[in-house]
Amino acid sequence: MAKIVLASGSPRRQELLVRMGISDFDIRVPEVEERYPEGLSPEETVCYISREKSDAARLLCGPDEIIITADTMVFLDEKRLGKPKNEEEALAMLTALAGRQHTVCTGVTVRQGEKVLTAAEHTDVYFHPATESQLRAYIRTGEPMDKAGAYGVQGKGALLVERIDGDFFNVMGLPVSLLSDLLKPFGINLLE
């Protein structure tokens, strides 16, 4: 089997690959400026950036290696919520999300040489209403500071979530079912 390269420094994505049964992989993180054209839908945006990451990672890999890239974004009313720059920005994001539905989109690209497949997954997440003191207590954990939308569903951020419609792992940053489907044309069937 060809060597798999995860072109991401995300510990969550690394953990999810292992959970999928892929334990032998390299990590090579390309430098990519996350810019994208105006007017793209959320799914088009994450696919665009995922492909940009794949193009950059290609320069770090051999032609036979299978490269996996992903980009996850949180959208509230079609507006992107990135990683908060400080605690006040985290509070503003979490306040906007409280008691509402938002969407998490991840674009995934799998590449081997000239063969490139990209697809997106979206998941609707519904937050409980929350008080400012509850949100500030969550922010004090430090968990929101390196996460899109200022929360991590795999940690204490789960306490903010009322329900999820769609792929839970997508909200963690890597839709495992979609990735499994994308790997099949590259000769990797994880259930066989």
Active-site residue list: 71
Residue that is written with structure tokens 């890597």 in the block: 174
Rounded distance, CA 72 to CA 82, Å?
A: 10
DSSP string, 127-191: EPP--HHHHHHHHHTSGGGGSGGG--TTTGGGGGEEEEES-HHHHHT--HHHHHHHHGGGT--TT
Using CB atoms within 10 Å of the CB of residue 57, give its burial: 0 to 12 exposed, 13 to 18 middle, 19+ buried.
Answer: buried
Q: Are 190 and 20 in contact (CB under 8 A)?
A: yes
